[in-house]
Amino acid sequence: QKEVEQDPGPLSVPEGAIVSLNCTYSNSAFQYFMWYRQYSRKGPELLMYTYSSGNKEDGRFTAQVDKSSKYISLFIRDSQPSDSATYLCAMTVQGAQKLVFGQGTRLTINP
């Protein structure tokens, strides 16, 4: 079993829809949770970062962490075609030098 599980999709939704992307993990020591966005043929870039449990909002994006369930989510409101990309979750523990990534979910927003 992988330490971080993420449904690879692909996920295709119409423009304006609310998108929910999720990851589950097995290591209860994870404290820092990140979402990276990767456009086609580009390197990933950090989109959202959350420490421990709770919510964080940035414009149309909301990141949620539920440590009791070992489950994190990324919500995209009013989705746009420019949001079409692969979204990767990543997490780490305090003092670690490495991130553990999920497999990535490929998302397409249809105009």
Residues that bind another protein (CB under 8 A): 6, 8, 32, 34, 41-46, 49, 51, 88, 92-99, 101-104
Q: Residue 32 or residue 61: which is nearer to another protein going by CB? A: 32
Query: Which amino acid type is present at position 83?
Result: D
In whole angstroms, give the CA distance from residue 73 to residue 22: 4
The CB-of-45 to another protein minimum distance in angstroms stands at 7
Q: Which helix (H) or strand (E) segment is 34 a member of?
A: strand 32-38
Considering beta carbons, is residue 18 or 93 the nearer one to another protein? 93
Task: Considering the complex, state which of residue 55 and residue 78 has its C-beta at the smaller distance from another protein.
Answer: 55
Torsions phi, psi for 81 (to 5 deg)? -55, -30
Q: For residues 89 and 4, what is the distance between their CA atoms, to the nearest angstrom?
A: 8
Which CB atom, from 51 or from 71, has the smaller least distance to another protein?
51
Q: Are 6 and 88 in contact (CB under 8 A)?
A: yes
| Min CB(6)–another protein separation in Å | 7
